[in-house]
A and B are shown apart, each in its own frame.
Chain A
Amino acid sequence: MQKFSKKILAEIKKQKIEPRSRLIFLARNYGVWLLAILGIALSGIFLGNLISDLLLAEWDIFPNFPGGRINFLANAISIFWLAGIIAAFVFAFFLLRKTKRGYRIGILTLASVILIASATGGISLLFTPLPPKFRELRMQHFPPRFDEREWQNSAEGFLFGEIVEVKEKMFLLNALDHSIWEVDISKAQIPPFLELKEKLKVRVIGEQIRDGEFRADFVKPENPREILQKIRGIPNERKFNLPAY
C-alpha cells in the first residue's frame, strides 16, 4: 500500500504536478453560468419577438392569402424566432447541467425553470422599444416571411413598404423588394390617426393599375397599436372592414 502512495508522490514530483489554481475553476464555473444565462436571455429575446410578431400579425387579412391563417402559422411566423428559441433553450439547458450541481436537478424541473425564465424575459421585452428594432434587423438581413412576401404581391392587391415622399393625394412607396410605387390615395380609406409621412411603414390594399402604379383602397400603418399609443384620446381602430377578396 505504502509503496503505491510513494510511487504516486514520486510521479507528482517527477512530472512537477501542482494543484491548479482555484481561480481557473472559479472562472470556468462562472463562465458556464454566464453562458447559460446568456442562453436564457437569448431565448427570451426570441420568444419576445415571436409574441410581438403574433400580436402584430394581420389576422384579418390572412384568410385572403393562400392557405390562410393555418398556412401562416405552419410555415412562416414562427420559423425564424422559433429556431432561435429552441437553439438558445438547448444551449442554456446543456450548460446548466454542466454547472457544479446542475446535474442534480431533474430534466423536467430544469427545462421548466429555463422556460419560465425565458417567458418572463420575453414578455418583459414586449414593454420595451426593442421588438420593432429586432424586426427591422430581421427584415434587413433575412429573407421575408410568408406574409411579408404576400404583402409584396401587388398583382393580388397588396403592397407593403416605406413611404419615401408624400404628395397631394398620392405618395411614393419603397416596397420590400426595393421597387418604387406611386400610390394613388384619392379614394383610399385612411385611419384618422394615421399621419402619412416619410419613413413611415404602411400596408396598402388596393389594385395595381400598371407597373409602378397602385390605387389604394385602404392604407394601414405597420404597427397601428404603436401609433395609437402615441396619440391619446383616439380609440383603437386596428380593425378595418375589409372587402371580400
Chain B
Amino acid sequence: MHSPKTDFLDIELVRRSLADPDEYAKIVEKYEAPLLRYLLRISNISREEGEDLLQNVFLKAYQNLRDFDTSLKFSSWIYRIAHNEAISNWRRKTARAEVINLENAEAAQLIQSTLDIPTKTDEKFLAKSVREILAKIPQKYREVLILRYLESKDYAEISDILRRPMGSVATLIHRAKNAFELAAREVDFRKFI
C-alpha cells in the first residue's frame, strides 16, 4: 500500500522526469511490474501483447506528465492510464472468449474474500473456477473486483482510477460480489471443497 512518503517520492520523480527525461526510467522501473500484472489481469492478452500495451501506457503517461494532479496518488493516475489503455485495446479487438490471467494464490484470495470459502479448498481448482467465473461476469464488475481484491486498492484509489464517485465504487463492488457469487453458483465449484 502507499504511504505519504511514497506519494512524495513519486511527485519528486515526476518533477525530476520533467527536468531530465532519463529520470523517467525510475518511474518505469517502479511501476512496470505492477502495471503489467494489472493489464494481464483485466485483459485477455498475451504477455507480449501486455508489454506492448504497457509501452503505450508509459509513453502516454510521459506525454501527459504535466497533467498529473499532485492531489491524487501517482499510482492512481498511472493505473487510470493503464485502465483506459486496456479498455481501448479491448474495444479495438474483436470479441473472443475471455480467459483471465490469475495465479492460484490470487484466485484463492479473490474467492475467499468474496464468498468466504474455507482455505482448505484446492488452489488449482480455485484458480480455474475463478477464471471461469470472472469470464462470465460483466467487464465493469471484473475490473472492480480485480482492483479491490487483487491489486488491493482502497475505495478512494478505485474512485480515482475508474473516475467514479466513492459511493458508486462501493455500490459497484457490492454488485460485483453479487454477480460473482451468482456466477459461482453456476460453476458449482463448491462440490470440490
Contacts and interface: CB of A to CB of B under 8 A. Distances in A.
Interface of A: 1-2, 4-9, 11-13, 15, 17-22, 25, 100-101, 103-107
Contact of A104 (B32, B58, B59, B159): B159
A107 B172 CA distance: 14
Main SS class of interface, A: helix
A4 B29 CA distance: 8
Given A2-B29, A4-B51, A103-B164, A9 B66 contact: no
Contacts of B163: 103
Interface string B167-187: 110000000000000000000
B116 interface: no
Nearest to B36: A4
Interface of B: 18, 21-22, 24-26, 28-29, 32-33, 51, 54-55, 58-59, 62-67, 69, 71, 159-160, 163-168
B28 A19 contact: no
Contact of B58 (A1, A8, A100): A8
Nearest to A18: B63
B22 A1 contact: no
Contacts of A106: 165-168
A17 B59 contact: yes
Contacts of A13: 21
A161 B146 CA distance: 68
A5 B51 CA distance: 12
Nearest to B56: A11
B66 A17 contact: no
